[in-house]
Amino acid sequence: MKKENVNEIIKRLYTVQDIIRWVFSCLSSSNVFYGHGIENAWEESLQLVLSNINLPYEYTQDMRNAKITKNECSNILNGIEKRIRKRIPMPYITSKSLFYGYEFYVNQKVLIPRSYLVEVINSRFRKYLRNKPSYILDLGTGSGCLAIICSYKFPKAVVEASDVSSEVLNVAKYNVVKHRKNNIKLIKSDLFENLSFKRYNVIITNPPYVKRSEFKYLPYEYHYEPPLGLLADENGLEFINKIIINAYKYLTENGILVCEVGSNKEKLEEFFPELPFKWFKFKDNCCNAFILTRRELMIPDMFF
């Protein structure tokens, strides 16, 4: 965006309502992809504008005509240029992601929160556990969003959140502190390698499962996310297979594994034909996740 164009635009945009409407028009006429925690141009417009002027998302109607400063307007224009020209996902521009009603800090070291497993957590695993869990493991925690939501749902539980990357764990730590969660312990671990608790009631995980051969065909926005959190070898099953084979060793007698697998449902069933996968049904049916008990997970051990 040329400097003279920016100055002209700033002259025409006086109020919060003006700038939201203008950003919405820009996004609506662009070819950006929505799918990183924000599903439409209107929600992205609100996030960009309100983040830059420090207004809450529940801002009142009388704030619509509040004046915006030249500096605020310039920052918003810079943000819209990054979004449309460079196709950077909006949460990376604002460093904020709204996920299931909670706000999380994000940067390009972590995936933007969007896991469908939050629906399972919200149900409190009622159909699958006899009692409330005392120990929960979020395996590959990323931003820490699933661990934190587990903590909200089960405030008396001990929640361990592991990740292989120190930089990722720094982001998770920021969010744990932000949400004032004292029952979450962060652990640097490559899958199950360095875990302190040996038995969990619930292991919940959203591991990398995108095939490398398919990655280049994804919308450009995905290329700003860390490959460490997205990509998997072995036809997308590299980490999922390891988790299935080893998880029973870390579960209580009645413990459960809950795992998101994307579009790998059929491949997984072919690889483990002996396992009685129970598949969750999500609202838009665009992602798959399964649940298996410890007893069910012990079956593959006979074959490896």
Using CA atoms, how far apart are residues 115 and 135, in angstroms rounded to an integer? 21
The DSSP secondary-structure symbol of 91 reads H
Nearest 5°: the CA angle 151, 152, 153 is: 90
- 242-246: which pairs have CB atoms within 8 A and are 24 or more residues apart? 242/191, 243/139, 243/191, 243/203, 243/205, 243/207, 244/272, 244/275, 244/292, 244/297, 244/300, 245/300, 245/301, 245/304, 246/191, 246/192
Q: Tens digit of pLDDT for each residue in 74-115?
A: 899 999 999 999 999 999 999 999 999 999 999 999 999 999
Tell me the per-residue pLDDT of 109-127, one tens digit each, with 9 for 90 and over: 999 999 989 989 988 888 8
pLDDT band at 14 (very low <50, low <70, confident <90, very high): confident
The pLDDT tens digits for 199-258 are 999 999 999 999 988 999 999 999 999 999 999 988 889 999 999 999 999 999 999 999
241 touches 271 (CB < 8 A): yes
Stretch 250-278: mean pLDDT: 94
Per-residue pLDDT, 4: 44
Q: Is the pLDDT of residue 293 over 90?
A: yes
**Alpha-carbon distances, residue 72 vs 35, 51, 106, 171 (angstroms):** 26, 10, 21, 26
Cα separations in angstroms, 185 against 54, 162, 177, 181, 182 = 31, 8, 11, 9, 8
pLDDT of residue 66: 83
Task: Report the helix count and the strand count for the chain, using DSSP H and E.
Answer: 13, 11
pLDDT band (50, 70, 90) for residue 5 = low
- 42 confidence band (pLDDT: 50, 70, 90): very high
Q: What is the pLDDT of residues 159-202, one digit of tens each?
A: 999 999 999 999 999 999 999 999 999 999 999 999 976 799 99
H or E segment at 96?
strand 96-99
Provide the token pair at 152: 């909200």
Amino acid 289: pLDDT: 94
Nearest to 294 by CA among 188, 137, 154: 137
Element at 97 (helix H, strand E): strand 96-99
Q: Could you give the count of Cα atoms lying within 13 Å of 225 in the half-sphere of its Cβ? A: 25
Residue predicted with more confidence, 283 or 259: 259
Once rounded to an integer, what is the mean pLDDT over residues 27-51?
94
Specify the pTM: 0.91
- 8 A C-beta contact, residue 188 and residue 169: yes
Side-chain half-sphere CA neighbours of 67 within 13 A: 4
| pLDDT level of residue 303 (50, 70, 90 thresholds) | low
Helices (H), 41-104: 41-53, 70-85, 90-94
Q: Which of 19-33, 50-64, 97-111, 213-227 has the lowest mean pLDDT?
A: 50-64
Confidence of residue 3 (pLDDT cuts 50, 70, 90): very low
How distant is the alpha carbon of residue 198 from its chain centre?
Answer: 26
Q: Is the pLDDT of residue 1 over 80?
A: no
Structural domains present in the chain: 3-94 (1.10.8), 100-302 (3.40.50.150)
Contact 24, 84 (CB under 8 A): no
CB 6 within 8 A of CB 12: no
- Residue 57 is predicted with a pLDDT of 76
Cβ contacts of residue 103 below 8 Å, gap of 6+? 96, 97
Q: Could you tell me which residue, 144 or 64, shows the higher pLDDT? A: 144
| pLDDT of res. 64 | 81
Query: What does the alpha-carbon distance between residue 104 and residue 123 come to, in Å, rounded to a whole number?
Result: 21
